[in-house]
Structure 1
Amino acid sequence: MLLGILLVLQILVCLALIGVVLLQRSEGGALGMGGGPTGFMSARGAGNVLSQMTWILGGVFFALSLAITLISTQSSGGSALDRLNVEALDPSQLSPPPAAAPAAPEAPATGGVLDAPAPQIRNPVLDDGAADPAP
C-alpha cells in the first residue's frame, strides 16, 4: 500500500519536474517574459522561482527514489542480485567450447564440373511440409 502511494507520488513529481525544466529558457531567463528587471513576474524573478522549483523537485525525486528502494528491499527480503543465486552458476557452461568446423566438401568426380541439385519448390497453399521437385 505504502509502496503504491510512493510510486504515484514519484510519477507526479517526475511529471512536475519535466514541466518545470521545459518551461525554463536555456539563456537563464524563464518563460520568455519581458518586463522590468525586478519583481516576481519579471523574467529574472520567474527564472529564480523555476530554478528553485527544479532543485526542490529534484531533491524530492531523489528522496522518493531512495525511500522506494529501501521499502521494496525490506518487503522482498533482499536485492535482485541476492535473488539471482550466482553461486549456482557453472562457469564452464557460460561459454561452451566452439563447435567443430564442418568438413570440407569432396571434390567433384566429373572433372571439375559441378552438378547443382534440382531446384525445390514449396507450395505455401498446400504446405504439406515436403518440398516438390521443379518440373
Structure 2
Amino acid sequence: MLQTILLVVMILIGLALTGVVLLQRSEGGALGMGGGGNSFMTARGAGNLLTTLTWWLGAAFGVCAISLTIVGNMERGASSVLDAETVGSIDLDATTTSPAEQQPAAPAAPTGPSLDDLEASLPAAPAAQPAGDEPAQ
C-alpha cells in the first residue's frame, strides 16, 4: 500500500518537475527561443521562483525515489533462493523414472535450408584442370 502511494506521489512530482522546467526561460538559446517581454512576472522574479521550485521538486523526487527503494526492499524481506528451509522443501520425488529409463529425445527438425540444400541447388562445376594442360581438340 505504501509503495503504491509513494509511486503515485513520485509520478506527480515528476510531472510537476517537467512542467516547471518547461516554464523556465531558455538561457542558452538552444532552440532559438528566449523569454518574451510579455511574461506574467518579471524575468528576475520568475527565474528565482521557478529555480527555487525546481530545486525543491528535484529534492522531493530524490527523497521519494530513495523512500520507494527502502520500502520495496523491506516488503521483499530477507529471503534468499538458497535458504536452508527452501532447499529442504524441494520435492525430490517429482520425477518417478530414473534417467536410464527415460527415452532420449529425438533430434529437432531443421527449421530452414541447410548447407546440403544449398550445395544440391548449385549447378555442377566442371572438374578443375592442371595449369599446364590445354584441352584436347
- Provide the TM-score with structure 2 as the length reference: 0.51
Q: For residue 87 of structure 2, what is the aligned residue in structure 1? A: none
Structure 1 counterpart SS, 2:67: helix
CA RMSD of aligned residues (A): 3.6
For the Cα contact (< 8 Å) 1:10–1:61, is it kept in 2? yes
Change (3 A) 1:13 1:109: closer
Residue-by-residue CA offset, 1:52-100 (whole Å, 9 max, x unaligned): 0000000000000000000000100259xx769xxxxxxxxxxxxxxxx
Change (3 A) 1:54 1:109: closer
Answering whether residue 115 of structure 2 is matched by residue 111 of structure 1, we say no
Q: For residue 64 of structure 1, what is the aligned residue in structure 2? A: 64
For the Cα contact (< 8 Å) 2:26–2:35, is it kept in 1? no
Question: How many corresponding residue pairs?
Answer: 86
Change (3 A) 1:50 1:83: farther
In 1: Cα distance, 2:73 partner to 2:46 partner: 40
Change (3 A) 1:15 1:75: same
Q: For residue 74 of structure 1, what is the aligned residue in structure 2? A: 74
Q: For residue 44 of structure 1, what is the aligned residue in structure 2? A: 44
Report matched runs for 1:81-92 at 5 Å. Answer: none
Paired-residue identity, %: 49
The structure showing larger relative contact order (alpha-carbon pairs under 8 Å, at least 6 residues apart) is 2
Q: For residue 3 of structure 1, what is the aligned residue in structure 2? A: 3
For the Cα contact (< 8 Å) 2:17–2:58, is it kept in 1? yes
Change (3 A) 1:12 1:83: farther
Q: For residue 12 of structure 2, what is the aligned residue in structure 1? A: 12
- Provide the TM-score with structure 1 as the length reference: 0.52
For the Cα contact (< 8 Å) 2:17–2:57, is it kept in 1? yes
Which amino acid in 2 is paired with 1:111? A
Change (3 A) 1:61 1:31: farther
Give the gaps of 5 or more residues in structure 2.
Answer: 29-33, 83-114, 129-137
Quick check: which has more Rg, 1 or 2?
Answer: 2
Residue-by-residue CA offset, 1:7-60 (whole Å, 9 max, x unaligned): 0000000000000001111228x963458xxxx921110110000000000000
For the Cα contact (< 8 Å) 1:3–1:68, is it kept in 2? yes
In 1: Cα distance, 2:63 partner to 2:46 partner: 26
Change (3 A) 1:25 1:76: same
In 1: Cα distance, 2:11 partner to 2:55 partner: 17
